Amino acid sequence: MNCIVNVSRNWGIGMDGDLLVHLSEDLRFFRENTQGCAVILGRKTLATFPGGKPLKNRRNIVLTRSSAAIEGAELCGSIPEALRLAEEAEKQMSCWVIGGAEVYRQLLPYCTLALVTKTEIDTAADAYFPDLDADPNWELADRSEEKEENGVRFRFLTYRNLSPLSLS
């Protein structure tokens, strides 16, 4: 299981329930990596998608303590259940943790890679991803050249977990 996230300079990921920045190249990168895969997300992140609908062409596993059905999504009520579904999904496809903050924090120890789009912005945030540069369990494995879109500079970074926890 891996995770994918877009962070600001100080690892902010969202504000008032929305992303901090919308970059078309990053959205394409997200789509290309997650198409045909399973994605694990929190109910609050699902609510930020257009129409609050699950992502197309992906198996959507939504963490929530509610039992209200969501069309096109599989509900999952706990982290152990999410890990079980991820393990089962990975027999057929890759599995990506796609946020938000609460879900990243709980599932990050089980992720092998983190694809981090690091944007050089300092926008105020109320949701954060853990600072992987400060975590000795994670090492920077790859870094793209610097890119720029609408005046925002960013890079695609790959971090590797040196001791991921087993899904089972």
Q: What 3-state class would DSSP assign to 34?
A: helix
Nearest CA-CA partner of 94 in 111, 71, 76, 78:
111
Nearer to ligand NAP, 56 or 65 (CB): 65
* Residue 157 sits in the site that holds ligand NAP (CB under 6 A): no
Nearer to ligand NAP, 89 or 116 (CB): 116
Question: How far is the CA of 86 from the CAs of 119, 121, 132, 156, 161, in angstroms?
Answer: 29, 33, 23, 25, 17
* Residue 33 sits in the site that holds ligand NAP (CB under 6 A): no
| Binding flags for ligand NAP, 1-30, as an x/- string (CB under 6 A) | ----xx------xx--xxx-----------
* Residue 77 sits in the site that holds ligand NAP (CB under 6 A): yes
Buried b (16+ CB within 10 A) or exposed e, 17-38: eebbbebeebeebbeeebeebb
* Residue 127 sits in the site that holds ligand NAP (CB under 6 A): yes
- Name the β-bridge partners of 59: 38
Q: Which residue has the tokens 């997300």?
A: 41
* Residue 97 sits in the site that holds ligand NAP (CB under 6 A): no
State the nearest-atom distance from the C-beta of 50 to ligand NAP, in Å: 13
Q: Residues in the site for ligand NAP, rule: CB under 6 A?
A: 5-6, 13-14, 17-19, 42-45, 48, 63-66, 77-79, 98-103, 106, 127
